[in-house]
């Protein structure tokens, strides 16, 4: 009797690629961090959730040494530009 060799690894890998592309397309919400508006230091979430807190939400960008950069306090600006866009203009 001859055994058939299934190509299940190809099917699994192909399915993983489709899943990764779907998740990337669905995750259009930018990162949201609670940040002090002047120092841009990352704060605990309750500083933004409480009306007496000193924080403001900061969207997108990156963090380094507990400070943020490259994002915006305006969520719509980050969503409009999208991930990896350059935002350059000609003139």
Please write the tens of the pLDDT for every residue from 2-50.
666 656 555 555 556 655 655 555 556 788 999 999 999 999 999 999 8
Tell me the average pLDDT across 55-70: 94
pLDDT confidence of residue 77: 86
Count CA within 13 A, CB hemisphere, residue 23: 6
Span of 18-22, 56-60, 86-90 with lowest mean pLDDT: 86-90
Question: Please, which residues have CB within 8 angstroms of residue 34's CB and are 6 or more apart in sequence?
Answer: 42, 43, 44, 45, 47, 48, 49, 53, 55, 56, 57, 58
């Amino acid at each position: 009797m001859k055994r058939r060799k299934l190509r299940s690894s190809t099917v699994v890998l192909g399915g993983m690629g489709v899943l990764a592309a779907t998740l990337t397309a669905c995750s259009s919400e930018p990162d949201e961090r609670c940040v002090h508006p002047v120092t841009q230091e990352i704060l605990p979430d309750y500083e933004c959730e409480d009306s007496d807190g000193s924080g403001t939400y900061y969207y997108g960008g990156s963090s380094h040494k507990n400070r943020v950069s490259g994002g915006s306090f305006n969520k719509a600006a980050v969503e409009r530009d999208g991930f990896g866009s350059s935002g350059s203009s000609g003139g």
